[in-house]
Amino acid sequence: MEKIVKLQLALFFNNLILRPDSLMNGINSSMGNLFDAMPQILPIPADAPADIPRVQMRSENGKYNCNISCSRVDFILNGDFTDEASWPDLTRDFMAKVKLFSSKVFDDSKINRFGLIGNFFIPDKSSSTSMTKKYLKVDLNTAEEINLRFNKRSSSHGFQLNNITSVNTAIFELNGKIDKGIFIELDVNNIPTEDSVKSDNLLQLIEKQIPSFSPDKVKGLVK
């Protein structure tokens, strides 16, 4: 049975934000003080890479995170390896939070790029065999590690999109025991243009894309 690791929305600023901490309170307030744990503001040198988070917010229950760097802001819903039966509830929650999150970010900043990301884990003691049967003609049944990555371009809602799929053999510790299986990451992101992203178009696109992250679609990548 598939395990849901996390869902994530990344929004990239048109221009670098010199004080990422200035966005922190507005985002948290607009989301009903969702991030109720003590935030971390990291003393990152000004010449450090712009995508390193300067601000990290999280909820006390560990379910929600928000990271803010000079170049991007990310909202993360942690699935914590819950079973696929939780998918409908998780996606409803994710969409509700994303609407609040994106509304505030778009009010404060211009956005030229986004990424919708899903991470999943499928327990499989014969993960190398499963991936070999699905994708490869060479005999890699005894391989310790197999990594595949492919990108299918598409267009939707006025966006030119990358649809990146990564499928890897992996080992995770779940409930105190080591599980062997397959880790899958789906990443839908746009090719930036001179025009800023419009919030309404993005939300409509996410609504359309989320079903392609569903358990039956994800498991179809390896079965």
**3-state SS assignment for residue 106:** helix
E strand spans, the chain: 3-13, 40-41, 55-58, 64-68, 72-83, 111-123, 147-156, 159-174, 177-190
Q: Is residue 182 classed exposed, middle or buried when 0-12, 13-18 and 19+ CB atoms within 10 A define those classes?
A: buried
Determine the pLDDT at residue 92.
Answer: 97
pLDDT of 174 reads: 73
d(CA 63, CA 161): 28
Cα-flanking dihedrals φ and ψ of residue 132, to 5°? -65, -45
DSSP 15: S
Q: Would you give per-residue pLDDT tens digits along the chain (223 residues)? A: 899 999 999 999 999 999 999 999 999 999 999 999 999 999 898 889 999 999 999 999 999 999 999 999 999 999 999 999 999 999 999 999 999 999 999 999 999 999 999 999 999 988 888 888 888 767 766 677 889 999 999 999 999 999 999 999 999 887 778 889 999 999 999 999 999 999 999 999 999 999 999 999 999 998 7
pLDDT of residue 188: 98
Q: Which residue has the tokens 């890699």?
A: 140
Distances (CA, A) of 156 to 7, 27, 110, 153, 216: 20, 28, 20, 10, 22
Whole-number pLDDT of residue 141: 64
> Using CA atoms in the order 84, 86, 87, 90, what is the torsion angle rounded to 10 degrees?
-140
Rounded to a whole number of angstroms, the CA Rg of the chain reads 18
Q: Where are the alpha helices (DSSP H) in 136-214?
A: 199-209
Question: Three-state SS string across 23-49, please?
Answer: HHHHHHHHCCCCCCCCCEECCCCCCCC
Report d(CA 104, CA 63) in Å as an integer: 20
